[in-house]
Amino acid sequence: MSQQDLAAHEMANADEKQDHHKRGILIAGLLVAMLFAALDGTIVGTAIPRIVGDLGGLGLMAWLTTAYMLTSTTIVPIAGKLADLLGRKVVYVSGLIIFIVSSALCGAAQSMEALIWFRGIQGLGGGIMMPLALIVIGDLFTGKERAKWQGIFGAIFGLASVIGPQIGGWIVDASSWRWVFYINLPVGILATILIFIGLPGKNTTGPVKVDIWGIFTMAIGVVSLLLGLSFGGKEYAWDSWQIIALFGTAILFLTLFFIIESKTEEPILPPYLFKNRTFSLINLIGFLITLGMFGAITFIPFYMQGVLGVSATDSGTVMTPMMISMILTSILGGQIVYKVGIRNLMLLGMAITTGAFGLLTTLDLDTSQYIAMGYLVIMGIGMGFVMPNITLALQETFSKEELGVVTSSSQFFRNMGGTFGVAILGAVLNQQSTQLLNDKLTPTLSRFPEQMQPMLEPLKKLINTDPQVLYSMLFNPESIQKLPPMMQQIMLPALKSSLVSSLHVVFWCGLAFIAIGFVLSFFIGNIPLSQEKKKNPTSSNQ
């Protein structure tokens, strides 16, 4: 080997070592960023009572969650497209900076209104960070390696839901609620430095064309839709002019969005993607499984607290085994998907999840807490096999040029599925409860002495307007003890019986959505895992 060849060889080895070192730094940054972004939601939820106690604004409390949900969901597809146009680094680092600055503002907020606005800004940062981590994984690894890392990152979400409430409770008890937000600063700065060092920039040539009108119409359409789903049946009746106006606005602007997308040069969500069978099927399955999953996560505590009488703390603990099983199978699935295939692993996961929902429909007044926990463990096993493979299937189907759009679309449709799930299954619970309570409780209340009727009128009104408020009596033993013994003897059995029967219908509806997703899984084609990283940006619109 000549001196010149030897020098070139040594230089190549040095470059390879440097790239390997940078990749290690980047992966560390991704893990830190993903964990602290995922933790934020669960930690903040624990601190909300203290926040309300300090700042007031009890009537605005729900907006602390709603504001974040609106902005974080809406920004996801926009972030994915910008990552394809501008490069991963500038978009990811921008999202991190937005999240860090807004966390500082949240911690310093002096009023509930200011905190809600800052939470909305924080949602923009969080909505950028989540899909960008998965997009960067798609860039870094081959299909086989990507499967393992998708499983690990999927497990991080589960881990955050397990440890988040404990960390949040510890922070609130040991210090001020403001540190729930301030804790993001050192962790976020560390993640930003690591990602800035490890993630290469993009060499852009020529002007970048951003779909401004697409962003505008999509934002208004999605926000209107999410507000309608969030407020419907709670703040306003489903047939009220406010909800009708929100849904009408959503239909109008989303229609304009799809018209614009079909004509613009660089659409946020290219319409041709929906012609691809894998894209449509995978995102529909993701939408359906999160729709059903959020129904279970939202309403299982109703059963645990209202029927079995466990405390709120123990009710949350019941969900922990489900998340642990999801963590384990997310990691396991990433290890075996290369051998069994994406389609087969998703079929297995959807079958297990469908079976778990079938078991949930058998919960009754006599079911023990441990049996209910066992059913949830089975559900976690199924979801752990499915969730990471949704993103993996899309990344293996499309080119690197489209990686940002298709990865963020997966996150977007799953976010939408969760919102639809809570709204639809919540409406089912209210409708069934109203019917059952009118049959079982209203006639009995009408037979009470006439002098008691003024006290009972608010209860009769709640049966037809918001039966979930009535169920909250079951969650609070102190409020039950305030009732006369005769009313307790009559109301409690009727409330528990109605709640169990209503939840059966909720879980049957969730089962129907999951079962449809299971059937759709049979139509997913064979998706081979790539042996090398994606390099050539070629269109994939077959």
What does the block give as tokens for 252?
């109008």
Are 172 and 222 contained in the same domain?
no
pLDDT reported for residue 93 = 93
Three-state SS string over 9-58 comes to HHHHHHHHHHHHHHHHHHHHHHHHHHHHHHHHHHHHHHHHHHHHHHHCCH
Note down the domain range covering 229: 211-265
Give the range among 89-93, 317-321, 428-432 with minimum mean pLDDT: 317-321
Whether 517 is in a domain gets the answer: no
The number of domains in the chain is 3
8 A C-beta contact, residue 424 and residue 474: no
Same structural domain for residues 166 and 224? Answer: no
Domain assignment present for residue 153? The answer is: yes
Residue 353: strand, helix, or coil? helix
Whether residue 249 has pLDDT greater than 80: yes
- pLDDT at residue 283, rounded to an integer: 93
Cα 171 to Cα 165: distance, rounded to the nearest angstrom: 10
**The pLDDT value given to residue 322:** 85
CA distance 233 to 237: 5
- Taking the C-alpha atoms of residue 130 and residue 128, their distance in angstroms, rounded to an integer, is 6
165 and 87 part of one domain: yes
Mean pLDDT rounded to a whole number for the chain: 82
pLDDT tens-digit map of 363-385: 888 888 888 889 989 999 999 89
Residues 52, 113 within the same domain: yes
Do 20 and 132 share a domain, yes or no?
yes
This prediction's pTM: 0.83
Q: Helix 88-108 vs helix 184-198: angle between axes, to the nearest 10 degrees? A: 170
Checking if the pLDDT of 285 tops 80, the result is: yes
Q: Is residue 314 part of a domain?
A: no
| Residues 371-422: tens digit of each pLDDT | 888 998 999 999 989 988 888 888 888 887 888 889 888 889 988 888 888 8
Residue 512 has pLDDT above 90, yes or no: yes
Give the closest residue to 30 by CA, choosing from 280, 199, 176. 199
Q: Under a CB-based contact definition with an 8 Å cutoff, are residues 80 and 409 in contact? A: yes
Is 378 a member of any domain?
no
**pLDDT of 67-112, one tens digit each?**
888 898 899 999 988 888 888 889 999 999 999 999 999 999 999 8
Predicted confidence band of residue 20 (pLDDT cuts 50, 70, 90) = low
pLDDT interval class at 183 (50, 70, 90): confident
pLDDT at residue 318 is higher than 90: no
How many angstroms separate the CA atoms of 505 and 497, rounded?
13
% of residues, the chain, pLDDT over 90: 24
Average pLDDT (167-190) is: 85
Give dist(CA 481, CA 222) in Å, integer. Answer: 44
Give domain status of residue 424, yes or no.
no
